[in-house]
A and B are shown apart, each in its own frame.
Chain A
Amino acid sequence: MMDVIIQKLSAPDFSPENYVQELTQRCVGSQELEQQRLRIQALAEETNTLLKKNVYRHYMQFIETAKEISHLEGEMYQLCHQLTEQRALLAAMTTASVRGEKGLQSNGIGDECDGNKEEEKEQKRRQQLIDIGEAVEGCVSLVDIPGRQLMYDGDLLELDPIDNTPLQRVHAYLLTDTFIIASWILNRRSPTRYKYEAGYELGSLAVVNVRDLKNAFKLLVFPDTRVFQCSNSQTKKEWLEQFEEAKKLLVSKEKVKREISVEPKSPARSDTLETSMNPFEEPEEIETPDETPEWLLEVAEDLDVFIAQRHFEQAYKLIEKSTEYLEKNKLSNDLVAEDLKRKLDSRVKTLTNVLTKELEVSPDKSQQGGLRAARRAVRLLNKLGKSTQACDLMLKLCSSLLKTQLKRVKLEGAAVKYVTRLATVFFSNLAEMVQEFQFKAFPNSPQCASVLIMWLNDEVNILMSHLIKQVLVKQTSLSTLSQCVIALHTQCSQLDGLGVDVKYLVDGQLRPGLTRALTDTRDKLIDAVKLRSGEDKWHPTNLNTKQQRDKLLSEFSNLPALQFESYITGDFWIGLSANTIAFARLYLSLIEDCLLLITPDLTHTIDQLLYDVFSAQLKHVGNSLNSERFRNERQFITINGKFLVDKLLKHCNELYEKKVGVRCKKLDQLKIDYSRYQVTITSYI
């Protein structure tokens, strides 16, 4: 029954209307019709499931076929790759043989072969790049740049740059100007086997041979570092060689490019034009040899280009050449000559301005190049006859350089240390600048030399006024000051070899401050002397222990002139008062500092200081001798006085003489002063 229905329904001339008519005619009553309907419904369901099953089976088959196809595709691709490789190999072989034969063949055939070879090469180059584009997902348009070429490629293992653990497997391509890293695609279904990960321009890339890691090399791509490991040492060697090769090519290419742009076009053109006549010029002038060459007409434009490209040397050469030409050959056409001259003048002005700008100091300009960076501009400005400007600018530059250098010296620690460091930086830089100025920038130029001297004067004054503010303050002790001055003097001498003496400037600046410091010291010391004198009891000093005694002796042991041992009595008594010993100590350190500071300008002040302080002490001795209070101590006081005058004063004056060359009259005066006290004493007794 079912089959009949199926046959009927699937018949080609099946018509639903006829079928329904037939059914209604044949069936009697609704019951039978219902039965028919159920039957058809069952049929529909059955067909439905069947259809579903079929679709499912087909789907499975479809998937299988797709798999098969992709497999095939992969194989085809590999085949294609192998074929390209073989073709490349064959091409290489043919070019090799052509080259080998070329030497023997005549030129004509060789050229033809060359042409073919070139074409083949180009073809090969393009194909390789296209292949890469196909193999790497996300990487296209490699072919666009002419001359780009595949140099090397291969699998690499990328390592962690810090702890050298393996990160991922990559495939890398080295082209003439780029390095491409591509990672593997795991489930590949198409010819793209890799996924583009990074491309680095060769120009911004540094290759490093990692020596202590097997078969590894490193790429420095600021700020990244990437480490790669090759499968064996041979491939690593090849990679490194190819990188080197590519880098060399790149550098040489850039050099060529630069040379092309730098090479002034005009002279080449002028050579041909000066000899051959320009047929387009006015015919009657063809006879005169001094017609305006074309390069001269274009001088202004060429100069603009040179200046814009900052080829200042070329610009200068061209200016020089043009001026020379204009002077030598009186141009027949006055108007043209005028015009040219005017143009030339304005270009000279522009060039001067640009060069001046180069030298100008501005806060946003880097000073890293230092003076050497200024050399070029200074040299050219000199040539342009603008030495004065150049000189001024260079000195300004020097000033600002000095300033930055000095700023770096930190104000910390002891004053002496600071002064020494500051002076070292200042004078060593100054020496370098003077050297640069005198020997490199402006040799044999008296005007500039005098400007330099003026400048030196100013700079030294600035430094000194700063130092004076920092160091020459009330609290600073004389010994610190003297050490600072010594440091300054030593550093000053760096300039001696250059024929420049700035010592007098330094001293001149220091004088007022030092004089003040000396007077202050005098007042302080005299106060101290007076204070101690008030407490003086004129007793011999008890040192209490042997150690104390030895300590004191060793303190004065390097001054045999004082004959300190002779005053020792008993185990630890000294036949001098504590005040006398203290004064001796004080005065010895004072004279030491003074003698370090002494200059002809300061001699008077220092003499006065030495005199006043000693005189105060002597006055105390004299007064004590005459005092009723110390009647019983007179003997002892005389010993002390004798020690001061005969030993201490004598020794100090010897020191003075050794340093200055003459005895200090003021100190001699002291002896006379003291003898006057003695006279009164003797008369008193």
Chain B
Amino acid sequence: MAKKPVSPEALHKVIMVGSGGVGKSALTLQFMYDEFVENYEPTKADSYRKEVVLDGEEVQIDILDTAGQEDYAAIRDNYFRSGEGFLCVFSITEDESFQAIQEFREQILRVKNDENIPFLLVGNKGDLQDRRKVSYAEAQGRAQQWGVPYVETSAKTRENVDKVFFDLTREIRSRKMEDTKTSNGGGKDKSKRKKLKCIIL
């Protein structure tokens, strides 16, 4: 128990969302313990924490692995509220799971009330190319429409597993830094930031 104190700034809360059976837990466990769990057992809500070195800085990733099953849809709000970033997972072998992400995205945006919440679209089961039902272009198109990155992973072969967690954490961290900057730095930074944006149409 004798852990050194962690500052809240270095603890990033990631939430795994997506339909049941798309491999949220498999991705999480692969990331946490480098192992692929073959047998399927529906998750209710599990949390994990891992300390990693991200770009030379020690941070903790707090992962909340949520239930994909429809029964839990009504109580998801409470889980989503605590998240700082989301990995929205579907299975490239199952079109329904891809269709379902729209609802997840909407729910997250509604709960967080923030259109720019760190968010990554993840197409899992990339090792099962022969059973692919969702084309890369289709998923990429959806991600583009939302303005979020799309990454294909395989929890089995560990392909891109670290990448999705690291990318998202990086995004969360930069969001936080930006937020503290704007709250501390006063008007100067804000106006600077605004300059990059363009009001069009």
Contacts and interface: CB of A to CB of B under 8 A. Distances in A.
Contact of B82 (A222, A428, A463, A466): A222
B201 A466 contact: yes
Interface stretch (A72-80, A387-395, A405-413, A537-545): A405-413
Interface stretch (A59-67, A169-177, A365-373, A672-680): A365-373
A225 B82 contact: yes
B201 A208 contact: no
Given A411-B200, A428-B145, A366 B110 contact: yes
Contacts of B32: 212
Interface in B31-47: 32, 44-47
B81 interface: yes
Contacts of A204: 78
Nearest to A470: B200
A231 to B, nearest CB: 15
Contacts of B11: 162
Interface stretch (B2-10, B150-158, B161-169, B176-184): B2-10
Interface string B84-126: 0000000000000000001000100110010100000000000
Contacts of B6: 162-163
A468 to B, nearest CB: 12
A251 B5 contact: no
A462 interface: yes
A461 to B, nearest CB: 11
A361 to B, nearest CB: 14
B147 A220 contact: no
Nearest to B49: A212
Assign chain B's interface to a size class.
Answer: 35 or more
Contacts of A493: none
Contacts of B3: 163-165
A368 B198 contact: no
Assign chain A's interface to a size class.
Answer: 35 or more
Interface in A156-213: 162-166, 204-213
Contact of B8 (A162, A251, A254, A372): A162
B197 interface: yes
Interface in A440-464: 462-463
A128 to B, nearest CB: 25
Interface in A242-266: 244, 247, 251, 254
B53 interface: no
Interface string A419-452: 0000011001100100000000000000000000
Interface of B: 1, 3-8, 11, 32, 44-49, 64, 74-75, 78-79, 81-82, 102, 106, 109-110, 113, 115, 141, 144-145, 147, 196-201
Given A162-B6, A218-B47, 9 more contacts: A164-B3, A208-B45, A225-B82, A240-B44, A368-B115, A372-B106, A407-B198, A410-B198, A412-B198
Interface of A: 162-166, 204-213, 218, 220-223, 225, 240, 244, 247, 251, 254, 366, 368-370, 372, 403, 406-412, 424-425, 428-429, 432, 462-463, 466
17 contacts: A164-B1, A165-B1, A206-B75, A208-B79, A209-B45, A211-B47, A366-B113, A368-B115, A369-B110, A403-B201, A407-B201, A410-B196, A412-B196, A424-B144, A428-B141, A432-B145, A466-B200
Top 10 closest pairs, chain A to chain B, by CB:
A411-B198, A206-B78, A222-B81, A368-B109, A208-B45, A220-B82, A208-B47, A206-B79, A209-B46, A428-B145
